Chains A and B, each alone.
Chain A
Amino acid sequence: DAGITQSPRHKVTETGTPVTLRCHQTENHRYMYWYRQDPGHGLRLIHYSYGVKDTDKGEVSDGYSVSRSKTEDFLLTLESATSSQTSVYFCAIRSSGSEETQYFGPGTRLLVL
């Protein structure tokens, strides 16, 4: 998994509660991404980061926020979880100057009841 870990790996929460997912990398990559994966939709970009404190929105950013205070950590927060946010969340990294490729973490399975 290219030195990427995600925590927690599984989480069950209730509607309306805040949830934070963590992505940690050990290889000092500049670019980090959060995706969600749902049946029939493939992977969709939520937010991405191109450096410490530099983040931007992706295709499906509503209801999500991110923070990156250190190179190695990229946090995804669901401010008030909804059932539509039940999904599998993947973090990915991309090295500066590399080809257009991304390397993915193992994923976090989130169930919002």
Chain B
Amino acid sequence: QKEVEQDPGPLSVPEGAIVSLNCTYSNSAFQYFMWYRQYSRKGPELLMYTYSSGNKEDGRFTAQVDKSSKYISLFIRDSQPSDSATYLCAMSPYTGGFKTIFGAGTRLFVKA
């Protein structure tokens, strides 16, 4: 079993829909949780960063962490065609980057 599980999709939604992307994990030591967006043939770019449990909102994006369920989510409100990309979750037990585990990514298509 992988430490981080993420549904690869693809997920296809109409423009304006609310999108929910999720990851589950098995390592209870994870404390730092990230979401990256990756456009085709580009490097991943950081979208959201959360430490420990709770919610974090940034514009149309909301990240949620439920450590008791070992489950994290990214919500995208009012989705746009420009949101079409692969979304990677990532998590780490501590700072330093050398123990960051990435999900395989969920591919999202937002149809105009």
A residues near B (Cβ < 8 Å) are: 1, 4, 31, 33, 39-45, 48, 50, 56, 58, 90, 92, 94, 99-107
23 contacts between A and B (CB under 8 A): A1-B43, A31-B97, A33-B98, A41-B104, A42-B4, A42-B103, A42-B105, A43-B90, A45-B98, A45-B100, A48-B97, A58-B98, A90-B43, A94-B97, A99-B32, A99-B49, A100-B51, A100-B92, A100-B94, A100-B96, A102-B97, A104-B43, A105-B43
A99: which B residues are within 8 A, CB to CB? Answer: 32, 49, 51, 95
B residues near A (Cβ < 8 Å) are: 4, 6, 8, 32, 34, 36, 41-46, 49, 51, 88, 90, 92, 94-98, 100, 102-105
Q: Report the minimum CB–CB distance from B1 to chain A (whole Å).
A: 14
